Amino acid sequence: MRARFRGVMKKYGYTAFGTYATVYVATWQVFCWGIHLQYIDVASIIGGVEPSAVVVTMLGPIMPEVVVSTIERTPVLTTMFVAWLGCKLFEPGRWAATIVLTPKVSQWWRARNYASPYLPIKKKKVTGSV
């Protein structure tokens, strides 16, 4: 799937990048809102561990203590970090969505004369004399 994803990125360029970025942000937002509204119970998913403990465990060895303690004490930042971790689990799904959606997005943009710079617009052949 990685080769197909790279092929789509090479063929469609900015359109593929924009599609991937949109799918990424949408996935991350779904996780953020799901955790915030308690549709996703993080503690039960990770075995009864509180999300703030996940922040300390994951970031403690690589980040300064000031950053880790700030994220740990701020519920919004903790939610955003845990949502980012959840979003990383769905990376292959985002690749698949990008592979499927990019040709459709490109076609939609081309129909409105906003063609991708990597796909030449096919011109109609004029036959006969004028």
Q: What is the DSSP letter of 118?
A: T
Q: Bigger pLDDT: 28 or 58?
A: 28
Q: How confident is the model at residue 15 (pLDDT cuts 50, 70, 90)?
A: confident
Q: For residues 80 and 72, is the Cβ–Cβ distance under 8 A?
A: no
* pLDDT per residue as tens digits for the range 56-100: 888 888 888 888 888 888 888 888 888 888 888 889 999 999 999
pLDDT band at 129 (very low <50, low <70, confident <90, very high): low
| Residue 3: closest CA among 86, 99, 72, 122 | 99
Domain positions in the chain = 2-111
Query: Residue holding tokens 């990048």?
Result: 17
